[in-house]
Amino acid sequence: MSSSGTIRSRAAERGFVLATTLLVTTLLTVMLAASFLLVSAEQRTTDNSFGTARALALAQAGLQNYFSQARGLSDTSTYDSTRITLVLGYADVVATKVRPSGASTGSQLALWVVKSSGVATSPVLAGQTQGSRTVAQFAQLSQGVLPARAALVALNGLKVI
């Protein structure tokens, strides 16, 4: 009798080991798939953050580039736009006159709002949007005065020109 009881328990143990092995394998597979999904979502989030940060830098660079150019803004014009191409994208800059110059407005200078929209066109994954940010700044068009005096600094001293 004891020999038949031993045979039954070993057969039951084999079935239990097979079921446990299948359960552990299934759990490991599900955990591995979930970790791949989590890593993929983190990568997309990081890429989007980099894209928007890059787009903000492009928008600011486009705004400063626009101010450094000798654009044809005058008291008679009311609108100006340009596209500035940069290394990892471009910036669309639009200047719109908000207030004309004159005594009726209380100011001698016209007031402009200059808006720069930066778009990051660096390579992104398929189906992922490009980063885009917009910055704006008020500006007044005034004639600058540059004095003729300048200084040249060299290793051997300062020479006033």
Mean pLDDT in residue range 65-91:
84
- The three-state secondary structure class of 123 is coil
Which residues does 117 contact at the CB level (< 8 Å), separation at least 6? 59, 62, 91, 92, 93, 94, 132, 133, 134
Mean pLDDT in residue range 47-60:
87
In terms of DSSP H, where are the helices of the chain?
Answer: 2-68
Task: Note the pTM of the prediction, 2 decimals.
Answer: 0.64
- The three-state secondary structure class of 41 is helix
What confidence score (pLDDT) does residue 63 get? Answer: 92
